[in-house]
Amino acid sequence: MVTERLSMRNMTKTYGTNTVVKNVNFSVLPGEVHALVGENGAGKSTLLNMLSGVTMATSGEIFVDGEKAVITKPTDARDYGIAMIHQELQNIPELTVFQNMFLGNPKTKGGVFVDKDREAKRAKEILFELDPDIDPWEKIKNLKGYLSSRSLKLLERYWLTQKLSLWTSQLPL
């Protein structure tokens, strides 16, 4: 029997007396790709927010590779290899390409200081597959649409999440 890469069991979320997600079960086997589809207000984002640690579930369990996962905040989810790409993406124009790529997940020296050289080197490796001429030290505002915000964020999240990636609707492939 194949172990599920991800399993959400009996996930429920309530806000006061309003239940927005009720006893949802969702699982993904290795190599599978799934889409969550539904009308506005159906609970898709809430379910993914619970999985990614943005919102605490009222009840339910999450398993990663067959082991129970405790996810109470986004960094917990990231430790399990789970990240969520939100529909509304923003970059900071005054920062460089590599600084935008590692926002929220900096490479550090001794766990304290940001290691810009390490970030830039890793960004160059990642960007090479998109376009080897993109300079990771270039400020976003100088790219003039050459590398879109969506492309940059997709690259960032793709490479940061080596185990699992969650995709919300309406993202370009």
Token duo for residue 165: 């990636």
pLDDT digits (tens, 9 = 90+) for 101-155: 887 777 888 878 999 999 899 888 877 776 777 888 988 888 766 555 556 655 5
- Return the pLDDT at 173: 36
Instruction: Please tell me which residue, 78 or 67, carries the higher pLDDT value.
Output: 67
* pTM for this model (two decimals): 0.60
- Return the pLDDT at 74: 86
Do 65 and 3 touch, CB atoms closer than 8 A?
yes
Least confident of 17-21, 49-53, 104-108, 146-150: 146-150
Residues of the chain with CATH 3.40.50.300: 6-82
Answer whether CATH 3.90.1150.10 is correct for domain 6-82.
no
